[in-house]
């Protein structure tokens, strides 16, 4: 249930209608409340409050009409600016980067602020009465309308500044990196000293006879696996008294009929149990960063790969992405990988689900960049330098072996892709320093 709530909340965050809709509702409530205050202060013929609007009904109508018309015009300008920014981001950084712009709170709030001010003025405008026998001027409501107009002007200035800075590569990279760090903190909360042995998950559950053929739960859709509700899977497996193994990770694409879950013993798996277990998996038409740590990594990789394309040829942006990826990998190297085996309240094994480890994250981060950077001296050297900076922070043997494997592949690409001998020698020095450090007896 918690996973599905996060899924729906993420969908709301990445929509342009949710925040503006809330602001429109708030504007309608504010207009109703302000007019109600004016009515309580005296109604028709009442003297205006000393701090509020002091004009007559004609002036009030003109003020609100002017504000309402201006807000609609500005809202159109904001919408146009947003579309231009989205188009530029899509062409320069990739279509998957649009999600970060769409979910940006400032963009949503700017559009909502102008529309909300327009709606407020429209609702207050209809309450003004021009009849000489029963004139009603909502002095407080008109004054609030003027204040909302001033706030909207400030929002417009801030919005233009925000768009101008947010569209820059360094800012976008920093936003994606912050999201990646938050996801790592959620998926890998414990330091490496608190790690539990999880490699022998199958051996830890001998009572379920995992050597026998399992029951199969297959996909009934053609979508991406966006999340696995671990707690719900454990509860469902405990209710049926089975052990479940998740065969795919969040971010994997599942064809209709592809294997999702293996269940032991197979004879306890009926149609109802299969639906209950399948219901603990969340699918969607695209990958999200809810549980997919490789998706957040892939966003930085995509920016780097586009920067290294012949049409752009921007190694500095690629190096910035490599630096951020190095920081994220260093964070992961110092975190405990969650155990693959999950038990119920009675301590009985119920679920086997392996998480993405450091070697897999390193593959996702550097494989494509290495392939795109073949022949780029600064990017190749920076890749080796980042691996060297990560090395002192790695303690697991598998992690250090992954560093050694990537260093070897990078050096092999450098030998075949760098034409200058001095450039190859620079890369060779960094490679040998890293290999020496990895071969050292000192381990953390």
Residue predicted with more confidence, 180 or 56: 180
**Is 6 a member of any domain?**
yes
- Which domain does 61 fall in, by range? 2-167
DSSP string, 116-178: HHHHHHHHHHTT-B--TTS-B--HHHHHHHHHHHHHHHHHHHHHHHHHHHHTSHHHHHHHHHH
| Across 96-100, 137-141, 214-218, least confident range | 96-100
**Is 202 a member of any domain?**
no
Same domain, 11 and 153: yes
Same domain, 13 and 160: yes
3-state secondary structure of 404: helix
**Is 415 a member of any domain?**
yes
Q: What percent of the chain has pLDDT over 70?
A: 90
pLDDT at residue number 195: 44
Which of 129-133, 138-142, 146-150, 189-193 is predicted most confidently?
A: 146-150
**Is 175 a member of any domain?**
no
Average pLDDT over residues 143-154: 93
pLDDT at residue number 252: 93
3-state secondary structure of 226: strand
pLDDT, tens only, 221-273: 999 999 899 989 999 999 988 999 999 999 999 999 999 999 998 888 888 89
**Is 190 a member of any domain?**
no
Look-up: residue for tokens 């904001």?
78
Look-up: residue for tokens 């693959």?
340
Average pLDDT over residues 355-368: 95
| Residue where one domain finishes, among candidates 109, 132, 167 | 167
pLDDT, tens only, 334-349: 999 998 889 888 888 9
Same domain, 17 and 159: yes
How many domains would you assign to the chain? 2
Give the pLDDT band of residue 367 (cuts 50, 70, 90). very high
pLDDT, tens only, 89-138: 888 787 777 777 888 888 889 989 999 999 999 999 988 887 766 677 78
| Residue where one domain finishes, among candidates 133, 150, 167 | 167
DSSP string, 92-121: HH-GGGHHHHHT-HHHHHHHHHHHHHHHHH
pLDDT at residue number 50: 52
**Is 288 a member of any domain?**
no
| Residue where one domain finishes, among candidates 167, 183, 209 | 167
8 Å CB contact between 124 and 31: yes
Give the pLDDT band of residue 22 (cuts 50, 70, 90). very high
Give the pLDDT band of residue 159 (cuts 50, 70, 90). very high
**Is 255 a member of any domain?**
no
**Is 408 a member of any domain?**
yes
Average pLDDT over residues 148-159: 94
Same domain, 303 and 162: no
CA gap 13, 287 in Å, rounded: 15
pLDDT, tens only, 389-431: 999 999 899 999 999 999 999 999 998 888 899 999 999 999 9
């Amino acid at each position: 249930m918690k996973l599905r709530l996060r899924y729906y909340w993420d969908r709301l965050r990445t929509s342009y209608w949710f925040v503006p809709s809330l602001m429109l509702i708030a504007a309608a409530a504010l207009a109703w409340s302000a007019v109600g205050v004016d009515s309580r202060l005296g109604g028709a013929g009442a003297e205006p409050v000393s701090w509020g609007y002091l004009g007559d009904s004609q002036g009030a109508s003109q003020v609100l009409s002017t504000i309402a018309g201006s807000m609609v015009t500005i809202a159109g300008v904001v919408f146009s600016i947003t579309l231009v920014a989205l188009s530029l981001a899509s062409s320069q950084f990739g279509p998957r980067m649009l999600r970060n712009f769409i979910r940006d709170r400032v963009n949503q709030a700017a559009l909502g602020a102008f529309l909300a001010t327009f709606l407020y003025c429209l609702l207050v405008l209809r309450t003004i009465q021009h009849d000489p026998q029963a004139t009603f001027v909502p002095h407080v409501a008109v004054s609030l309308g003027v204040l909302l107009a001033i706030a909207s002007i400030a929002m417009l200035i801030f919005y233009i500044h925000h768009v101008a800075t947010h569209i820059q590569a360094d800012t976008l990279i920093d936003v994606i990196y912050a999201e990646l760090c938050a996801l790592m903190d959620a998926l890998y909360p414990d330091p490496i000293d608190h790690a539990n042995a999880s490699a022998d998950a199958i051996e830890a559950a001998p009572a379920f006879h995992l050597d026998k053929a399992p029951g199969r739960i297959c996909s009934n859709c053609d979508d991406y696996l966006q999340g696995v509700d671990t707690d719900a899977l454990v509860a469902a497996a405990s209710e049926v008294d089975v052990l479940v193994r998740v065969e795919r990770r969040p971010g994997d694409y599942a064809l209709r009929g592809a294997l999702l879950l293996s269940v032991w013993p197979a004879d306890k798996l009926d149609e109802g149990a299969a639906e209950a277990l399948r219901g603990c998996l969340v699918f969607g038409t695209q990958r999200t960063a809810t549980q997919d740590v490789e998706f957040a990594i892939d966003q930085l990789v995509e920016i780097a790969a586009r920067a290294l394309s012949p049409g752009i040829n921007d190694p500095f942006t690629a190096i910035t992405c490599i630096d951020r990826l190095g920081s994220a990998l260093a964070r992961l190297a110092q975190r405990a990988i969650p155990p693959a085996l999950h038990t119920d309240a009675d301590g009985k094994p119920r679920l086997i689900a392996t998480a993405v480890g450091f070697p897999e994250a390193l593959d996702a981060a550097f494989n494509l960049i290495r392939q795109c950077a073949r022949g780029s001296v600064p990017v190749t050297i920076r890749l080796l330098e980042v691996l060297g900076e990560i090395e002192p922070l790695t303690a697991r043997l598998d992690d250090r072996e992954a560093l050694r494997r990537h260093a070897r592949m990078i050096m092999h690409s450098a030998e075949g892709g760098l034409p200058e001998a001095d450039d190859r020698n620079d890369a060779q020095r960094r490679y040998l320093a890293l290999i020496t450090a990895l071969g050292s007896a000192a381990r953390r």
